[in-house]
Structure 1
Amino acid sequence: MIFACDLDQTLIYSRNSMGPIEEDELVPVETYDGDYRSFMTRTANLYLQRLSQNILFVPTTTRIYEQYNRIFGLTEAYSIPSRYAIVSNGGKVLVDGKPDADWEHRVRQAVLAKCAPHLEVKAIFDRLVSEDWVLKDRYCDDLFYSVIVRRDLLPAELMEELESRLRDLGWSSSLQGRKIYLVPDHVSKGSAVRYVKELSGSSFVFAAGDSLLDESMLELADEAMAPNHGELYRKYGVHKHIGFTENSGIRASDEILARLTNRMEVRKAL
């Protein structure tokens, strides 16, 4: 079994995103500039330690490789092994910590052949936004854009308008916290999870994620969950395939991992 799980605001949380929780219930999992930046609950951490001994835990994130490597707590040294990982929103698959060159070549060829050039997409975005709203932008791994914005200034209709403009160009957009992502359709978590499934010979995928960029892998999964604080919940509320948590914030990860643990117990009993 594969457990393909988004990281930020699904499994791990910053202090700004976690919601109310006692300090002694937190386990730090990421450092940056000498500070702890991301955390799990002790409950979720214990669940994942046990689960990762029996299934393939596949961290699946929009973070680029360097950002992913800041997360020290999701490693074999901390009793959470992961032979496979997916970074750059599916643009890279890591096998034993190293990028899979065949997958990366396949992704880049598909983007070049089937998606509009990134500068054309960025020009459309720039025409829709004001300089006052945008704090910083970055073209990540020569694949997609990450734009830090002042979310309080964004017009309510911006994301809908952006999505309609990008659809015919083979790109999509997602608003997560104070970041807008502009991503080619052929850079997807779903495609990367399917590739890992083939590599590993696994037959069942349990997936979890909070944003529209996670939707492709949740649709691929045999069972899927999403926190009720995320972009997916705001869009759907109820979904025929994706189960939403009752808890929000960092407690949502406890609920997701409890469900997966129950699923494992049921499968063992069959």
Structure 2
Amino acid sequence: MYIFSDLDRTIIYSNKFLDTDVKYQNIEKHEGRDISYISLKTIKYIKKLQDIGMFIPTTTRTTEQFNRINFNQYGINFSWVITTNGGCILNNNQVLESWNEEVEKIKKNSCDLEIMLKDFEKYVDLPGVLKFGIASELFFYIVVDYSIFDIQCLNAYIKQLKEQKWDMYTSGRKIYFLPKGISKENAIKHLCEKLNINEHIAIGDSTMDYNMVKNADYGYVLKHGDMLTENDDLFVSKSEGMNGTEFILKSIIENYQAVNI
């Protein structure tokens, strides 16, 4: 059993989204601050999934940002990890070269990052743009305050994206701009082919996860997320937050056990 799972607001949670009725502990510190947490049951369930299958974190975080999450302190180690929204596959902390070669082809087939950034300069200081960032010299994003920011201001830039072979995704307060083909689902497809995986599970919460969850054999969605699930055959958690995470992981384990009795 192979489980590909998003992390933020799927497995771990920031201060903003903590459940007061769930026992949790810190799992990420940054610049001296506790910034992410994981429930104790989630730790237990991930360990169980590692015993009966393979749990593969699949995150929009860069590798550097992923490495801040201290799963090791709870005795959890991952042999495979997908970071940078599919831009990087790691095997025991080493870059998978076969996928890296494909990423380089995607980059060459898309407009150069520097050109995209140059064209985007005039939008960085728009009202409501709180932060601008570049991820691993591969893609860029902005964090916005939607009470101030008007996304229609980006219409002209959005129209250019298709010609430049780039995509745009929105996820909560973040708006991402990526070369077309850099995606979680494409990285998963490559890894499935490499490892001869015939069937897999995917878990996510946001629109960034939609295609990887939809393309999985079994897709699980957190109720609190912004993923569109109308008319989709996806399993949605009954509860939100950490409770929802625990519910999904427990369901996966129970379904596996039921099939393998």
Query: TM-score, length-normalised on structure 2?
Result: 0.89
Aligned 1:52-71 pairs, distance under 5 A: 52-71=50-69
Aligned 1:246-265 pairs, distance under 5 A: 246-265=238-257
Unaligned runs of 5+ in 1: none
Corresponding residue to 1:107 among 103, 121, 126: 103
Asked if the contact 1:172–1:183 (Cα under 8 Å) also holds between the matched residues in 2, the reply is: yes
Whichever residue aligns with residue 133 of structure 2, its letter is R
Q: Which residue of 2 aligns with 1:14?
A: 14
Q: Which residue of 2 aligns with 1:139?
A: 134
Comparing 117-126 and 241-250, the one that deviates more? 117-126
Alpha-carbon deviation of 1:42? 1.6
Alpha-carbon deviation of 1:128? 5.9
Unaligned runs of 5+ in 2: none
Q: Which residue of 2 aligns with 1:175?
A: 170
Asked if the contact 2:168–2:178 (Cα under 8 Å) also holds between the matched residues in 1, the reply is: yes
> CA, structure 1 residues 186+26, in 2 after alignment: closer, same or farther (shift >3 Å)?
same
Aligned mates of 1:34, 1:224 — CA distance in 2: 36
> CA, structure 1 residues 197+267, in 2 after alignment: closer, same or farther (shift >3 Å)?
farther
Alpha-carbon deviation of 1:166? 2.8
Aligned mates of 2:160, 2:97 — CA distance in 1: 32
Alpha-carbon deviation of 1:158? 6.2
Aligned mates of 1:158, 1:43 — CA distance in 2: 44
Aligned mates of 1:156, 1:106 — CA distance in 2: 32
Asked if the contact 1:27–1:45 (Cα under 8 Å) also holds between the matched residues in 2, the reply is: no
Aligned 1:194-233 pairs, distance under 5 A: 194-232=189-227
- Residue-by-residue CA offset, 1:234-265 (whole Å, 9 max, x unaligned): xx242423222221222221122122112211
Task: Indicate yes or no: 2:77 matched with 1:81.
Answer: yes
Asked if the contact 1:84–1:196 (Cα under 8 Å) also holds between the matched residues in 2, the reply is: no
Q: Which residue of 2 aligns with 1:51?
A: 49
Whichever residue aligns with residue 21 of structure 1, its letter is T
Alpha-carbon deviation of 1:177? 3.3
Aligned mates of 2:134, 2:94 — CA distance in 1: 22
Comparing 134-143 and 89-98, the one that deviates more? 134-143
> CA, structure 1 residues 110+254, in 2 after alignment: closer, same or farther (shift >3 Å)?
same
Aligned mates of 2:39, 2:133 — CA distance in 1: 31
Aligned mates of 1:125, 1:210 — CA distance in 2: 28
Aligned mates of 1:199, 1:189 — CA distance in 2: 15
> CA, structure 1 residues 241+112, in 2 after alignment: closer, same or farther (shift >3 Å)?
farther
Corresponding residue to 1:30 among 25, 28, 40: 28
Q: Percent identity?
A: 25
Asked if the contact 1:190–1:220 (Cα under 8 Å) also holds between the matched residues in 2, the reply is: yes
Task: Indicate yes or no: 2:230 matched with 1:238.
Answer: yes
| Cα root mean square deviation, aligned | 2.4
SS at structure 2 position matched to 1:231: coil
